[in-house]
A and B are shown apart, each in its own frame.
Chain A
Amino acid sequence: MAILEVKNVAKRFGGLQALSDVNLSVKENSVHAIIGPNGAGKSTLLNCLVGKLIPDTGSVMFDGQSVLGRAPFEINQMGISRVFQTPEIFGELSVMENMMIPIFAKRDGAFRMHAYETVANEKSVVEAAENMLEEMNMADKRHMNAASMSRGDKRRLEIGMCLSQEPRLLLLDEPTAGMARADTNNTIDLLKQISDERDITIAIIEHDMHVVFSLANRITVLAQGTPLVEDDPQNIRGNPKVREAYLGESA
């Protein structure tokens, strides 16, 4: 069953047709990769899914509900979490605080004014945050300033923050961009573990074919703003159209 259904989406920026006639369906509990050469419209598509951009035409349904016209925070509350290309975390706050904020957001919704309680007294949130840090192997860093961590750790924290909200769909935008090989492999292992152990759908935009083929069980190739082909990884490897548009250049 498809959890995310994109139908006939088009988006134009002035003279540039960034997306045209995009149809995409992401199956529940799959790992779906969206690949394509630079300028293929991957990021534009992602921004249309999370509410940053509104497509000119078409529809985006998440779990039977339209996401169009909703603000990013509303779409997150529906169950879609997003990991950014450069880790977006609360740099000035401690690792523990970083982990608590999404849990508060999940529990209390988009706005709730707890101005008189003390953070330390919110036992259930503290506990959930500690468990998540433990799971991410970051418990020893809980008092650290988030900005002072390494890039790999920031990425780990960001993924942990998203997971702590128990989203149904996790969107990742080139999660290993600019990472060293070791960090990349760690991230792959982490994502594998997440998709194996959790009841979660992962949609990933990625340049790195190593990452794509180690993780994805379904791949959509985007070229010039429109899907070229959607298939299983082994068929994508051998597809001549894909080779021409993308793999041929880089492989």
Chain B
Amino acid sequence: MFGLDKKDTSLLIVVALLTLLAPFILNPFPTDSGLAQFNAGYPDLMQRFIIFGIFAVGFNILFGLTGYLSFGHAAFLGVGSYSAVWMFKLLSYNILPAIALAVVVAGLFSLLIGYVSLRRSGIYFSILTLAFAQMSFALAYSVLSNPKFNLTNGETGLQVYNDDPQILQGANAPDLPHLFGLSMRSTYTMEVGPWAFDFNAGYYVCAVIMMIAFYLAIRIFRSPFGMMLRAVKSNQQRMNYTGLNTRPYTLAAFVISGMYAGLAGGLMAAMDPLAGAERMQWTASGEVVLMTILGGTGTLIGPVLGAGFIKYFENIFSKINDSVLHGWFAFLPDGLEDAVVTIIHPFVGKGWHLTLGILFMLVVIFLPGGLVEGGQRLAKWIRNRGKTEDKTSGKTEPAE
């Protein structure tokens, strides 16, 4: 289907079902139960899952296929956000032109940075991209924000004001980002017994765009172009002596992944019409590297999983504070309860980075292929277990 083979089609369908049903899947606990804080099915977080999923899928086209590790991809995300907000300020709150401009500007910007950075490979390439991203951050944070020429609105962040032109903004159009009148914030809450499920317009716009982006990523992975990119990663020497010019291949991959980042940045602004320089910080660039490696570099679904994993930790784990912990361990004797809470305390709440760091280390050491490899091993183990049980039916065997 859609020009994909059977395996890729089923992957696409699984991803489509997961994204469409995410409001259910991410809200497994009733609203009043103590576990409700583990629910991730609220619009803001679901949008972030999707947006960072797009960002990581695009990053993986560069890093996973060509092996060029960019440490500056947040710059393209930020550029996308700024472009989108400028579209809101100048034209209207309709998100389509905003997202289109975000992709185009991020593409041009990555063409410029990629053209220079790709003259080097390995660590030098990484450092060049990092330097460019930090320069972009500095430009956005201070240089391009002065009374004479205010492109980024500096520290405050770029936002829409009442006296902005908005020349195409209709009289009745919502005063927030919308898609032909459908506000991105409009949410329908479905209540089923004790459960509540949120269906948010913005989320579904993001979801549809991600499906398209994901589909295109599959096409690229399976195309001759994708094969050439993997060949770049494998042996550049052989590439050159086979009559292939590696530079345009890597530059094309860089620009495509920059456009994905711009798309993610544009969507971010479309969900919340703000753009700040902190989006271009090097920590944001590092985050997408973590997402891709954690999920599985060079795999299709890995970056999406990695993005979801990290964003879940950031938003859910960070909310577990001491009083929540005391609530959980209230059944223990007082002294023991305090001791357990003291031990767990550094790993939750503000310390969520610590837990994430440990998990990241474990994944990199034991599952170099990321969460995807973990899933594959688990599936293999279950299958083999089923086989041995068939052979030795009746006998009980200890689990491995």
Question: Which residues of A are in contact with B by a Cβ distance under 8 Å?
Answer: 50, 71-74, 76-77, 81-82, 84, 88-93, 97, 100-102, 104-106, 108-111, 113-122, 125, 161, 165
Contact = CB atoms under 8 A, between A and B. Distances in A.
Contacts of A116: 219-220, 223
Interface stretch (B147-155, B232-240, B353-361): B232-240
A106 B243 contact: yes
Contacts of A91: 234-235
Q: Which of B5, B219, B237, B243 has the most CB of A within 10 A?
A: B243
Given A93-B227, A113-B225, A118-B223, A73 B243 contact: yes
Contacts of B244: 73, 101, 105, 110-111
Interface stretch (B26-34, B52-60, B245-253, B263-271): B245-253
A237 to B, nearest CB: 33
11 contacts: A50-B241, A72-B241, A73-B242, A93-B234, A104-B224, A104-B227, A105-B243, A117-B223, A118-B5, A118-B223, A119-B224
A161 B219 CA distance: 26
Contacts of A161: 242
A-B pairs with lowest CB-CB distance, top 3: A76-B243, A110-B245, A90-B234
Contacts of A50: 241
Nearest to A79: B243
Contacts, number: 108
A94 B226 CA distance: 14
Given A71-B245, A72-B241, A73-B245, A115 B220 contact: yes
B230 interface: yes
B364 interface: no
B222 interface: yes
Contacts of A108: 224
B54 to A, nearest CB: 17
Nearest to B251: A111
B127 interface: no
A4 to B, nearest CB: 16
Contact of A89 (B230, B238, B249): B238
Contacts of B242: 73, 76, 101-102, 105, 161, 165
Nearest to B244: A105
Interface residues of B, number: 30
A102 B248 contact: no
B296 to A, nearest CB: 15
Interface of B: 3-5, 219-220, 222-228, 230-231, 233-235, 237-245, 248-249, 252, 256
A231 B231 CA distance: 41
Contacts of B248: 110-111
Nearest to B219: A116
A198 B243 CA distance: 21
Nearest to A50: B241
A168 to B, nearest CB: 13
Contacts of A90: 230-231, 234-235, 238
B231 A101 contact: yes
A92 B230 contact: yes
A105 B241 CA distance: 10
A89 B235 contact: yes
Interface-central residue, B222, B230, B233, B240, by most chain A CB under 10 Å: B240
Given A92-B233, A106-B243, A118-B222, 19 more contacts: A71-B245, A72-B241, A84-B241, A88-B235, A89-B238, A90-B230, A90-B238, A91-B234, A100-B224, A102-B243, A110-B244, A110-B248, A111-B248, A111-B249, A114-B225, A115-B220, A115-B252, A115-B256, A118-B223
Contact of A73 (B4, B222, B240): B240
Looking at A93, A102, A115, A122, the one whose CB has the most chain B CB atoms below 10 A away is A115
Question: Which of B4, B225, B231, B242 gathers most chain A CB within 10 Å?
Answer: B242
A111 B243 CA distance: 9
A114 B227 CA distance: 10
Nearest to B222: A118
Contact of A101 (B5, B219, B223, B228): B228
Contacts of A115: 219-220, 223, 225-226, 252, 256
B245 A88 contact: no
A72 B240 contact: yes
A151 B380 CA distance: 31
Nearest to A125: B224
A77 B249 contact: no
B1 to A, nearest CB: 13
